[in-house]
Amino acid sequence: MFDRVIRRIAPVWPLDSFVAVNPYWGFADQTFAEAAAHLQGSVGERVIMDRRWYADLLKNGKLMMADILQASSDLGVDLDEYGWRAYLREPSELPMRLPRIPELMDRPGHPAVSQYVVEQISRFLAAYYDRGQSLWSFPKDPAVGLFGSWRQYTLLDRTLRAMGLKHLRSELLTVSSNAASARQWALETLAIAQPAEEDYLLVLLKSIGGWASWCRYLLWQAELQGSTNADLLDLLTIRMVWEGLLRKTADARVLERWRRQIHAWTIDDKGVDLEDARRGEVLLRASEIAYRRQVAASIRRQPAKKNRAPLIQAAFCIDVRSEVFRRHLESVMPELDTIGFAGFFGVLLDYQRNGDYAPRTQTPVLLNPQVHVTEDAPGDAIQRRFRRLRRAAEWKHFKLSAASCFSFVETAGITYVGRLLADTMGWHRPSVHPDEAGLSPEERANLRCVLPKSLTLEQRIGMAEFILTGLGLNRGVAPIVLLAGHGSSNTNNPHRAGLDCGACAGQTGEVNAKAAADLLNDPAVRKGLVEKGWNIDPRCCFLPALHDTTTDRVEILGGLDNPKLDTGLVAELQAALDKAANLTRLERMLRLEPDLRDPETVARNMEQRGRDWSQVRPEWALAGNAAFIAAPRWRTREMNLAGRAFLHDYDIEKDPDFGVLTLIMTAPLVVANWINLQYYGSIVDNQRQGCGNKVLHNVVGGTIGVLEGNGGDLRIGLSEQSLRDSNSELQHEPLRLTAFIEAPTDAMDRIIANNDALGRLVNNRWLSVVQIAADGSLRERRSEGRWVSI
The DSSP result for 532-568, as a single string, is TT--B-TT-EEEEEEEETTT--EEE-S-TT-TTS-HH
Q: What is the mean pLDDT of residues 5-15?
A: 96
Q: Are residues 673 and 608 in the same domain?
A: no
Q: Do residue 601 and residue 734 come from a single domain?
A: no
**CA–CA distance, 522 with 519 (Å, rounded to integer):** 5
Whether residue 462 is predicted with pLDDT greater than 70 in this model: the reply is yes
Q: Which residues of 346-383 are buried (b: 16+ CB within 10 A; e: fewer)?
A: bbbbbbebeeeeeebbbbbbebebebebbbebeeebbe
Q: Say how far apart CA 761 and CA 718 lie, in whole Å.
A: 22
Given a contact cutoff of 8 angstroms between Cβ atoms, the answer to whether 342 and 319 are in contact is: no
Q: Is 464 a residue whose pLDDT tops 90?
A: yes
| Annotated binding-site residue? 501 | yes
Please tell me the predicted confidence (pLDDT) of residue 415: 65
Which residues does residue 371 pair with via DSSP β-bridges, in sequence order?
349
Do the domain assignments include residue 503? yes
Percent of the chain with pLDDT over 70: 92
- Give the torsion sign (CA, 359, 363, 368, 370): negative
Q: Average pLDDT of 627-634?
A: 96
Domain enclosing residue 383, as ranges: 312-621
- DSSP for 569-632 reads HHHHHHHHHHHHHHHHHHHHHHHH-TT---HHHHHHHHHHHHH-TT-S-S--TTTT--EEEEE-
Other Cβ atoms less than 10 A from the Cβ of 706: the count is 22
- In this structure, of 147-151, 357-361, 555-559, 661-665, the range with the lowest mean pLDDT score is 357-361
CA 432 to chain centre: 22
What percent of the chain clears pLDDT 90, i.e. is strictly above it? 68
Residue 375 lies in a domain: yes
State whether 772 and 650 are in the same domain. Answer: yes
Predicted local distance difference test score (pLDDT) of residue 366: 82
What angle, rounded to 10 degrees, do the helices at 270-298 and 51-59 form? 40
> How far is Cα 104 from Cα 111, in angstroms, rounded to an integer?
13
Residue 305: inside a domain: no
pLDDT at 449 over 70: yes
Q: Residues 215, 17: contact at Cβ < 8 Å?
A: no
Residue 785 has a CB neighbour count (10 Å cut-off) of: 12
Q: Among residues 573, 577, 572, 675, which one has the least CA distance to residue 627?
A: 675
Total number of residues shown for the chain: 790
DSSP 403: T
Q: Which neighbouring-strand residues pair with 481?
A: 313, 542
202 and 147 in one domain? yes
Residue ending a domain, among 211, 243, 267, is 267
The rounded distance, in Å, linking the Cα atoms of 288 and 379 is 56
Considering the domain boundaries, does residue 482 fall inside one? yes
Task: Give the whole-angstrom CA distance, residue 342 versus residue 503.
Answer: 6
What residues does 536 pair with on adjacent strands? 477
Is 45 domain-assigned? no
β-pair type (705-708, 738-741): unpaired
**Which residues pair with residue 628 across a beta bridge?**
646, 739
Strand segments (E) across 78-198: none
Say yes or no: 515 and 556 in one domain.
yes
For residue 26, tell me if it sits in a domain.
no
The DSSP secondary-structure symbol of 290 reads: H
Cβ count within 10 A of residue 388: 14
Residue 317 and residue 260 share a domain: no
Does any domain span residue 87?
Answer: no
pLDDT at 52 over 70: yes
Instruction: State yes or no: 486 annotated in a binding site.
Output: yes
- Measure the CA–CA gap between 487 and 509, rounded to whole angstroms: 7
Q: With 90 as the cut, is the pLDDT of residue 409 above it?
A: no
Write down the pLDDT at residue 305.
72
Residue at a domain's end among 267, 283, 298:
267
Residue 741 has a pLDDT of 98
- What confidence tier does 444 reach under pLDDT thresholds 50, 70, 90? low
pLDDT at 416 over 80: no
pLDDT value at 394 more than 90: no
| Residue 325 and residue 580 in contact, taking contact as beta carbons nearer than 8 Å | yes
What is the Cα–Cα distance from 301 to 299, expressed in whole angstroms? 6
CA pair distance 572, 481, nearest whole angstrom: 14
Same domain, 409 and 426: yes
Q: What's the structural domain count of the chain? A: 3
φ/ψ of 594, rounded to 5, equals -60, -15
Do the strands 697-700 and 705-708 form a parallel or antiparallel pair, or are they unpaired?
antiparallel
The answer for residues whose C-beta is within 8 angstroms of residue 563's C-beta and 6 or more apart is none
H-run or E-run covering 769? strand 768-772
When pLDDT is averaged across residues 111-135 and rounded to a whole number, the result is 90
- Return d(Cα 279, Cα 734) in angstroms, integer: 16
Lowest average pLDDT, out of 252-261, 305-314, 342-351, 624-633, goes to 305-314
237-240 contacts at long range (C-beta below 8 A, 24 or more positions apart) = 237/147, 237/179, 237/182, 237/183, 237/186, 238/121, 238/146, 238/147, 238/150, 239/121, 239/204, 239/205, 239/207, 239/208, 240/182, 240/183, 240/186, 240/187, 240/190, 240/201, 240/204
- CA dist., res. 709 & res. 692, Å (int): 10
Residue after which a domain boundary falls, among 595, 621, 647: 621
Q: Is it the case that residue 35 has pLDDT exceeding 90? A: yes
Tell me the C-alpha distance between 335 and 309, whole Å. 8
Q: How is the beta sheet containing 312-316 ordered, strand by strand?
A: 336-340, 312-316, 480-487, 541-548, 554-556
Q: Report if residue 406 sits inside a domain.
A: yes
- Outline where 446-486 has alpha helix (H): 457-470
Q: Which of 707, 689, 754 is nearest to 26 (CA)?
A: 689
Contacts of 48 (CB under 8 A, 6+ apart): 36, 277, 280, 281, 283, 284, 684
Q: φ, ψ for residue 479 (rounded to 5)? A: -60, -30
Structure confidence by residue, pLDDT tens digits, 185-235:
999 999 998 999 999 999 999 999 999 999 999 999 999 888 999 999 999
Q: Is the pLDDT of residue 15 over 90?
A: yes
Percent helix / strand / coil, the chain, rounded to 5: 50, 10, 40
- Banded model confidence at residue 356, pLDDT cuts 50, 70, 90: confident
Query: For residue 176, what are the contacts with CB-CB under 8 A and spacing of at least 6?
Result: 182, 185
> Are 239 and 184 in the same domain?
yes
Q: Tell me what the mean pLDDT of segment 34-58 comes to.
A: 95
How much is the average pLDDT of 459-487?
92
Cα torsion angle, 333, 335, 341, 343, sign: negative
Helices assigned H by DSSP within 375-509: 381-400, 405-412, 417-425, 441-445, 457-470
653/543 same-domain check: no
Sequence-distant (≥ 6) Cβ neighbours of residue 11 within 8 angstroms: 21, 25, 213, 214, 216, 217, 219, 220
Distances (CA, A) of 223 to 229, 312, 510, 607: 8, 42, 28, 42
pTM: 0.94
How far is residue 476's CA from residue 535's CA, in Å, rounded to a whole number? 6
592 in Cβ contact with 617 (< 8 Å): yes
Which pLDDT score, from 0 to 100, does residue 700 have? 94
Amino acid at 748: M
Query: Residue range 756-769: average pLDDT?
Result: 96
The overall average pLDDT reported for the chain is 90
List the alpha helices (DSSP H) in 207-269.
209-224, 231-249, 252-267
Burial class (CB in 10 A: 0-12, 13-18, 19+), 311: middle
pLDDT at 687 over 90: yes
Which residues, in sequence order, are bridge partners of residue 780? 770, 788
Task: Sort strands 371-376 and 480-487 into parallel, antiparallel or unpaired.
Answer: unpaired
Cβ partners under 8 Å of residue 310, min gap 6: 335, 336, 337, 478
Q: Mark whether 617 and 629 lie in a shared domain.
A: no
**What would the mean pLDDT of 435-445 be, rounded to a whole number?**
68
Is 590 found in the same domain as 627?
A: no
* Interatomic CA distance for residues 211 and 715, integer angstroms: 8
Same domain, 399 and 475: yes
Residues 6+ apart with CB under 8 A from 738: 288, 291, 292, 295, 626, 627, 628, 767, 768, 769, 770
- Average pLDDT (601-606) is 91
